[in-house]
Amino acid sequence: MKRPLSALAFLALSFAGAQTAPVPVLAPNPVNKALNISGRSLQMPESIRWVTVDEIRASLPDRPINVSFDIDDTVLSSSGCFWWGQQTFSPGSTEYLQKQLFWDAVNGCDRFSIPKDSARALIKMHQDRNDQIFFITGRTAPRQMELLTPLLVKTFGTKNMHFVNFAGGIPRETKYDKTPFIQSLKIDLHYGDADSDITAAMEAGPQVRAIRVIRAANSTNLPMPAVGSFNEEVLRDSAW
């Protein structure tokens, strides 16, 4: 037998339905996003020299140029490989970065790294211009055949791919490890997320243009760099 709804219960349900709160509309706060991703709490976005892919394209000469990219946190979100390496070889410290065994073991790990959409857009733009694209990484080369070059070709469809340049552990006379490669490859434009990417380009000479790519907020590469601290151009929406 169906039991009738009591008057008290009916009133309670009616009141609950009448008081249902509207679903809030969530919208990103562009100011907070820029500050959080950059890792700075004082620098306002207006003080940063933001650029877009279209603006970069419009600013380039009509002729092809030589362009270089850092890899980790610039074109690939590869923190997972480095997190694994730290937990495996030197928990709680960065000593693993000095171990050749780590660089050998992590070779091929980037099949699990996430390509950045901003990198796809940049690489496509430069390939459409027939620019020469190089990759310069601070990693130390593995002792076995490196697997990073073919992975980048597969991931980004890079045409006329040059082998990745591994700067880690290479003797140099410059302050920054990527500077000799930027110089020898006659790079006109270098992209990177780290302060050392910007300063390496500056050290290579005034003819080299440096553009910052924003490091993802969940990167394990801490502390976050000071975006805009060298008055460099910064690619908008490049944390992903």
For 50-108, how does the pLDDT look when each residue is reduced to its tens digit (9 = 90+)?
Answer: 999 999 999 999 999 999 999 999 999 999 999 999 999 999 999 999 999 999 999 99
- pLDDT tens string 162-200: 999 999 999 999 999 999 999 999 999 999 999 999 999
Under DSSP, the state recorded for 221 is S
User: What does the pLDDT look like over 4-19, one tens digit per residue?
Assistant: 444 434 333 343 444 4
Furthest-apart CA atoms within the chain: distance in Å: 92
The stretch 220-226 carries a mean pLDDT of 92
pLDDT, residue 169, reads 92
Cβ–Cβ contacts within 10 Å for residue 233, how many? 20
Give the Cα separation of 34 and 28 in Å (integer): 11
End-to-end CA distance of the chain: 60
CB-neighbour burial class of residue 182 (10 A; exposed 0-12, middle 13-18, buried 19+): buried
Active centre residues (catalytic): 70, 72
105-132 average pLDDT score: 97
Domain made up of 47-78+114-235: CATH architecture: 3-Layer(aba) Sandwich (3.40)
pLDDT band at 36 (very low <50, low <70, confident <90, very high): very low
- DSSP bridge partners of 68: 134, 190
According to DSSP, residue 4 is labeled P
- Region 144-154: mean pLDDT is 97
Least confident residue range of 28-37, 100-109, 135-144, 184-193: 28-37
The residues near 185 (Cβ < 8 Å, ≥ 6 apart) are 66, 68, 134, 136, 165
For residue 81, the model assigns a pLDDT of 97
Give the tokens for residue 13. 């349900």
The model's pTM: 0.82
